Structure 1
Amino acid sequence: IYPKPNHIIIIDDGPAHTLQLLDVQLSDAGTYKAVVESISSTTELISQVTVRDVPDESSEPVDIHVSQGGSCTLECQVTGAPLPEVIWTRDDQQIKANEHYQIESSANGNHRLIIKNAQYEHAGRYVANIKQRVRTQFMNFDVIITDRKVSTTTTKINLTGMSQQEQIQQIQSQVRPLFLHFGLQDIPRPLNDILFNTA
């Protein structure tokens, strides 16, 4: 066995001899033997090293609801020295940055996937694949696209005590901006006659 930087360290400290294994891999498993020789005898010290495989870890999925056309952010925090690599996937396909996906990472280990202008086809299982030295951790997000929310406003108009002409003028002042915004074709014909042909 020969020393290897950051992996195999051999320490010779007078009567004490030490073999250190750093960043242990599965290939390091096996039988290690130290041979101690003197003028009168030879002694062998045998050690059996077993390396256990570390299983991958997967988190329970988190539901993320976003309205069609909206945006949402998926976020994970990683630690380690060096910091592990993070790869974002959707339905087992790696995500590349484009007009809908923005990928961010910071020096403190914070990683974000921002989904912009979300459409129905962007729904699915998103995973942050955190690749460490001996295992991969998976953070799962289920993105659910919901229908776009449409807000409506109801305006009440009090016509009590007004003449017919005053009632028409009051209606015009309240609803004309709304109808002009959508165009004349969106106004029911009878109401159109009242609002715009009474000059």
Structure 2
Amino acid sequence: MRPEAVVFDIGNVLIEWQPERFYDSEIGEARRREMFAEVDLHGMNDQVDRGHPFRETIYAAAEDYPKWREEIRLWHDRWIEMACPVIDHSVRLLRALRGKGVPVFALSNFGIESFAYAETQYPFLGEFDRRYISGHMAVIKPDAEIYRLLEEDCGVPAGALLFADDRIDNIRAAEARGWQAHLFTGPEGWAARLVEAGLLSAEEAA
């Protein structure tokens, strides 16, 4: 089935999301590994992505681990440095699809305040036809409910959605609902998939 709409994840599809890389540059790989082993920072971030307050959630975690207090607070204070740079080719694909009249949606695990901040730095985040941001939905991928809510709202049949995400668990959850899906490992592969699906020409996807 030719897709009727394309769904983009944001982190590591449109914007690089690499907290470990940020901390390696700040405190060194050895200390970063020690901190991540002692503190479930990604679990903390999941709470933000479920809609918990951005600063309060991170600062509370920092108080729970005084050894790492200042480092954990960086997750809030310098968050934008973890969420960069833009993956320019992916943004071109987003715009090429919209230029062809293909509906383009965002489906992303993202906090309420952090997404609002990201919008001020990355204007293309306002270019989607519809945006499904986990913090506003109070559920995160790969929970089946977030996919169901998108289907219910957009009205596009599950089998007519083509979804790109960098995490295999999120891809499998989408496929379990009948979505077409692409495991994103780089924009070139995603471009090729969009051409294969008949949504863009090779020139438009370049």
Shorter-normalised TM range: under 0.3
Please report the TM-score for the alignment, with normalisation by the length of structure 1: 0.22
Structure with the largest fraction of strand: 1
Normalized per residue, which structure has more helix? 2
Determine which structure has more spread, i.e. the larger CA radius of gyration: 1
